[in-house]
Amino acid sequence: MQIISFLAPGEPAQQPDLSLLAIRCVRALVNAQVPVHWRVLAAPGSAVAFTSALAPKTLTAEAVVQISELDSALGDLGDLLRATRGPVPGGVALAMTAPQWWPALLAPLQGRRIAYLEPSPFLQPEQIAPYCGYPDEVWLPDADLAQQLRRHQPGLRTRMLPPVRRHAVQQDISVDRLAAFRQMMGIGDQTFVFYAMLDAHSAEGCADMLAAYALAFDGEANADVTWVVQCPPEFVDPLRDGTPVPAAQFIEGLLAGMPSSRGHGRPKIVLLDQDLNSAGRDLLHACGNAFLVPRSGDALGLRAIDAAEAGNEVIGPAGGNLEYLLGAAWQALAGSQSSDGFVQALAHAMKSAWLRRDGDARGRDRVQWHLANALSEAAWVLSVQRLLGGAEA
Kindly report whether the global pTM for this prediction surpasses the value 0.85. yes
Go through the chain and tell me how many residues it has.
393
C-alpha triplet 36, 39, 44: angle, nearest 5°: 155
Domains of the chain from N-terminus onward:
2-164+376-388 (3.40.50.2000), 175-372 (3.40.50.2000)
Cβ 309 vs Cβ 165: under 8 Å: yes
d(CA 212, CA 197): 16
Would you give the end-to-end CA distance of the chain in angstroms?
19
User: How many C-beta atoms lie closer than 10 Å to residue 2's C-beta?
Assistant: 21
d(CA 298, CA 264): 33
Main-chain dihedrals φ then ψ at residue 206, nearest 5 degrees: -65, -45
Print pLDDT tens along the chain (393 aa): 999 999 988 666 678 899 999 999 999 999 999 999 999 999 876 434 444 456 688 999 999 998 888 888 888 999 999 999 987 777 899 999 999 999 999 999 999 999 999 998 778 999 999 999 999 999 999 888 999 999 999 999 999 999 999 876 455 788 999 999 999 999 999 999 999 999 988 888 999 999 999 999 988 878 999 999 999 999 987 666 778 999 999 999 988 888 766 655 789 999 999 988 888 899 999 999 999 999 888 889 999 999 999 999 999 987 767 888 999 889 888 766 788 899 999 999 999 999 988 776 778 889 999 999 999 999 999 999 999 985 433
Residue 387's Cβ-count burial label (10 Å; 0-12, 13-18, 19+) is middle
Main-chain dihedrals φ then ψ at residue 216, nearest 5 degrees: -80, -35
Picking from 5, 20, 53, the residue whose alpha carbon sits closest to that of residue 280 is 20
d(CA 229, CA 27): 30
d(CA 46, CA 314): 31
